[in-house]
């Protein structure tokens, strides 16, 4: 999968891919740990355009994202809907990465903790749940939370729910090490940088070398 470094240098790293639905089967067949980008809360029924947990399991998919900022911002997903998706996926045996985060307007209004509290406390405690903190203002903008800002948000999230927390917001090779050095940053939800193999490899190497 990786070119260049000795694969042993990446030992112990958990790497998951979250492709579009049309590539799920290909990624599973390639032996990659594969999550979907979304999952519905009902196991079956007339929900055109949605995909259920049993469908994903039949493909060999291991889990799903829920509540990505684009789903919240563009498709009107609510905290309750995100929680229902997470609960259904977990009950079916899938892993879940649940995304939370504030907009720029909410941060500037000093509402970050209120937003995170509302989003996080809606989620269930489960051993297969991981949270991804993705400040909406840092996604696709080139802006990134400073390591200290990320640490503060992650520590607050962990005070509400005892689960691993990933950082997702314009993670790149040149900022990954600083983010991973924070004690409450457990990994990254990588967006655009994952589409370039060299950038993604560099981020993975930064993750394996964290102290």
Residue 37: give its domain's CATH number: 3.20.20.70
Q: What mean pLDDT is predicted for residues 113-138?
A: 96
pLDDT in tens, 62-96: 999 999 999 999 999 999 999 999 999 999 999 99
| Averaged confidence pLDDT in the chain | 92
Any alpha helices (H) in 78-146, and if so which ranges?
79-92, 104-108, 112-121
Q: Which residues, at least 6 apart from 196, have a Cβ–Cβ distance to it below 8 Å?
A: none
Candidate list 40, 68, 102, 154, residue with the active-site label: 68
Q: What mean pLDDT is predicted for residues 173-183?
A: 95
**154 is annotated as an active-site residue:** no
The number of distinct structural domains making up the chain is 1
pLDDT at residue 123 tops 90: yes
Q: Residue 79 belongs to what domain range?
A: 7-208
Instruction: Give the pLDDT of residue 50.
Output: 96
pLDDT at residue 4 tops 50: no
- Count of H-run helices and E-run strands, the chain: 9, 6
2 belongs to a structural domain: no
1 belongs to a structural domain: no
CA separation for the pair 204, 200 (Å, rounded): 6
96 belongs to a structural domain: yes
Instruction: Give the pLDDT of residue 151.
Output: 97
pLDDT in tens, 6-65: 455 456 789 999 999 999 999 999 999 999 999 999 999 999 999 999 999 999 999 999
138 belongs to a structural domain: yes
Q: Is the pTM of this model over 0.95?
A: no
Candidate list 40, 102, 134, 154, residue with the active-site label: 134
Q: Is the dihedral of CA 160, 166, 167, 169 positive or negative?
A: negative
**105 is annotated as an active-site residue:** no
pLDDT in tens, 132-154: 999 998 877 767 789 999 999 99
CA separation for the pair 178, 147 (Å, rounded): 6
Tell me what percent of the residues of the chain surpass a pLDDT of 90. Answer: 82
76 belongs to a structural domain: yes
């Amino acid at each position: 999968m990786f070119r260049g470094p000795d694969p042993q240098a990446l030992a112990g790293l958990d790497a998951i891919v979250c492709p579009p639905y049309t590539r799920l089967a290909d990624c599973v067949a390639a032996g990659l740990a594969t999550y979907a980008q979304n999952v519905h809360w009902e196991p079956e029924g007339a929900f055109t355009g949605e995909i259920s947990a049993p469908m994903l399991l039949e493909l060999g998919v291991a889990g799903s994202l829920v509540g990505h900022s684009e789903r919240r911002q563009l498709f009107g997903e609510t905290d309750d809907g995100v929680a229902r998706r997470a609960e259904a996926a977990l009950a079916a045996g899938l892993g879940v990465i649940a995304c939370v985060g504030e907009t720029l307007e909410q941060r500037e209004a000093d509402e970050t903790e209120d937003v995170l509290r509302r989003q996080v406390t809606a989620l269930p405690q489960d051993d297969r749940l991981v949270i991804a903190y993705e400040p909406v203002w840092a996604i696709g903008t080139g802006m990134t939370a400073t390591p200290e800002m990320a640490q503060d948000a992650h520590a607050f999230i962990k005070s509400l729910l005892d689960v691993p927390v990933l950082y997702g917001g314009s993670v790149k090779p040149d900022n990954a090490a600083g983010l991973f050095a924070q004690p409450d940053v457990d990994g990254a939800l990588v967006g655009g940088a994952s589409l370039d193999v060299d950038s993604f490899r560099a981020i993975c190497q930064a993750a394996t070398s964290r102290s």
